Chain A
């Protein structure tokens, strides 16, 4: 064999080099995120859940635009009526012309949507496909409008918890030392306070000052309530983020970044916080159902959303009260409960899917 080794890596010629660069540009490494995205999409239940939630969000957003009955219009003469199957004799058709246009105070966007609705559909509205409650109010309309409150509650609380929690946890974990100690002691203290009781206290307090809040800040009781909820949920988020940051801080890529001259803030913002994203996401997916349940819980006790506004929790509470030996209005509790349950189910499925997808150990597992 010739003494000139063929395996000594030859220096590429000009054209070869260009070709190599072109090939490198084309080759796309799959980032962990891209892999995760693909894996979530491939998980059928998660895909269905995502699609379902998107549809729900869309409906909730456009609620004033949809040709629904008014959610607050009373019809005491009619009283409670069950949903009617299309094939039964009592089927009165999909539409009727009885839109009353009643609604609670709308903001500007909703007002515009509502006016557009009147232009498009006039007095046409969907018949009470899901039945009516004891005061004759259309359940379908109330459910759709209720979804707005329930979803926005969950989102507001989740966002508040995200902003405060991630900030608090990241700073505490990254800076360490006495500041960390102090910050986490504060969290521990807040953690040991009986959350539910304090919320109930707060709610009763807020009820006192409702008129001031509405006039001054333009916030209704609900919004304040949800922000308050978020202020409680950030505690766990802060703990989780801090734990993540602590483990990330000692990882090699941080030392590498430092050795390249990156400042602390830069490292924190561009390296550490994005790496906490998976854990944060999973926890968010768990917070949302938690908040929805809690809102339902408070509404049931009469401390949550106030009429004339609706939320799924309030509807479920009204439905629960309608269960008496005399009346068989099961649909009143079934519909909102099913909505809550399905939404929670969807969020849990998505949360599980994200957690499984982003777990690097699952990459090579069967």
Chain B
């Protein structure tokens, strides 16, 4: 954490449990994260790793069947769990905001874009009608929507996918929050639009000092925009550090395996990412399945699938010590 960035969000030991007919499912098992102003933290992991659930937990948007616990959940120094439901709801939109994966289902189909934008302002600020309208137009312009005045009366289904996502970003940022949670914001978009949205995130970060927590399953997205990254698996973080370091020289075997499974990935010092001369290239995969989250996990969650697993790994859960980069007993670079 560089000195000039002010820490906005500090979470320690986040645990989320769901009550289901099958029993209790542990979706997040002890997650730490912190984000500072103006930086983009990416959380990457496969489906079911708990990355989206963690974000929703911090925003208090999970259904009642979920129970959320954390040793600490500080927003700008204030403990979130000591606030009432209504107080936390008031923080949403004002200080913390979120954009979701599928803008078509996330936007209200029966209200105009203008209405959906203005109601955020109506709740959080006292402005005249004229001021509200001006702010809405400005918000749309800021996210790069052409002819914003005309779009105010449009409905979500009348816009293209990329525009809808921009609208959602505008809606999230219109009340000037400090932190934006983005839940796979580009997954539903095609590649060219993806690049534009990611570029937009970078701009907003630089211009407004906005902090962004970006959840994604794509390492490409991480490479493009993230300052720091956390790799999650089975509800826990396995590796964390600056995006450059983690992507170029991953310390945790899981991260390494993930990177290898990207076709054409080249990792320095890794002989296996270069296909053997003359041998037919095979799609690399990680053998096995993620663990069943309804069962307690002993030892390291990744051990059953890890090539470096030892008896110690199966017995004892690893922590981010002595290697602050990876929660692993045998990180890369050690024996």
Indicate yes or no for A touching B, C-beta below 8 A: yes
- Map CB proximity to A onto B1-41 as digits: 1 under 8 Å, 0 otherwise: 00000000000000000111100000000000000000000
Selected interface stretch from A2-10, A23-31, A68-76, A155-163? A2-10
Known: A5-B272, A364-B20, A366-B19; 13 extra A-B contacts, CB below 8 A, are A1-B308, A3-B271, A6-B307, A7-B286, A7-B287, A7-B307, A8-B282, A9-B282, A9-B287, A366-B20, A366-B21, A366-B63, A366-B65
The answer for the CA separation of A8 and B272 in the assembled complex, in Å, is: 10
Is B257 interfacial (CB-CB < 8 Å)?
yes
Show 20 A/B contacts (Cβ-Cβ < 8 Å), sorted by A.
Answer: A1-B308, A3-B271, A5-B272, A5-B307, A6-B307, A7-B257, A7-B286, A7-B287, A7-B307, A8-B282, A9-B282, A9-B285, A9-B287, A364-B20, A366-B18, A366-B19, A366-B20, A366-B21, A366-B63, A366-B65
The answer for the CA separation of A111 and B65 in the assembled complex, in Å, is: 59
What residues of A have a CB within 8 angstroms of the CB of B307 in the complex? 5-7
Size class of the contact patch on chain A: under 10
What is the distance, in angstroms, from A254's C-beta to the closest C-beta of chain B? 23
The answer for the CA separation of A364 and B286 in the assembled complex, in Å, is: 25
A5: nearest residue on chain B (CB-CB)? B272
What is the distance, in angstroms, from A169's C-beta to the closest C-beta of chain B? 27
The answer for the CA separation of A6 and B271 in the assembled complex, in Å, is: 13
Interface centre among A1, A5, A366 (most CB of B within 10 A): A366
What residues of B have a CB within 8 angstroms of the CB of A5 in the complex? 272, 307
Could you tell me which residues of chain A, from 336 to 366, have a CB within 8 Å of some CB in chain B?
Answer: 364, 366
The interface of chain A, by Cβ under 8 A from chain B, is 1, 3, 5-9, 364, 366
What is the distance, in angstroms, from B63's C-beta to the closest C-beta of chain A? 7
The answer for the CA separation of A5 and B330 in the assembled complex, in Å, is: 16
What residues of A have a CB within 8 angstroms of the CB of B19 in the complex? 366
Could you tell me which residues of chain B, from 250 to 306, have a CB within 8 Å of some CB in chain A?
Answer: 257, 271-272, 282, 285-287
The answer for the CA separation of A3 and B20 in the assembled complex, in Å, is: 45
What is the distance, in angstroms, from B219's C-beta to the closest C-beta of chain A? 18
What is the distance, in angstroms, from B166's C-beta to the closest C-beta of chain A? 28
What is the distance, in angstroms, from B328's C-beta to the closest C-beta of chain A? 14
The answer for the CA separation of A121 and B47 in the assembled complex, in Å, is: 68
Could you tell me which residues of chain B, from 47 to 75, have a CB within 8 Å of some CB in chain A?
Answer: 63, 65
B260: nearest residue on chain A (CB-CB)? A7
The answer for the CA separation of A223 and B94 in the assembled complex, in Å, is: 68
Interface centre among B19, B272, B286 (most CB of A within 10 A): B272
A1: nearest residue on chain B (CB-CB)? B308
The answer for the CA separation of A8 and B284 in the assembled complex, in Å, is: 8
B285: nearest residue on chain A (CB-CB)? A9
The answer for the CA separation of A3 and B276 in the assembled complex, in Å, is: 12
The answer for the CA separation of A366 and B282 in the assembled complex, in Å, is: 40
B332: nearest residue on chain A (CB-CB)? A1
The answer for the CA separation of A152 and B282 in the assembled complex, in Å, is: 63
Could you tell me which residues of chain B, from 95 to 133, have a CB within 8 Å of some CB in chain A?
Answer: none
What is the distance, in angstroms, from A18's C-beta to the closest C-beta of chain B? 20
**Leading 9 A-B pairs by shortest Cβ distance:** A366-B65, A7-B307, A6-B307, A5-B272, A366-B20, A3-B271, A366-B19, A9-B287, A7-B287
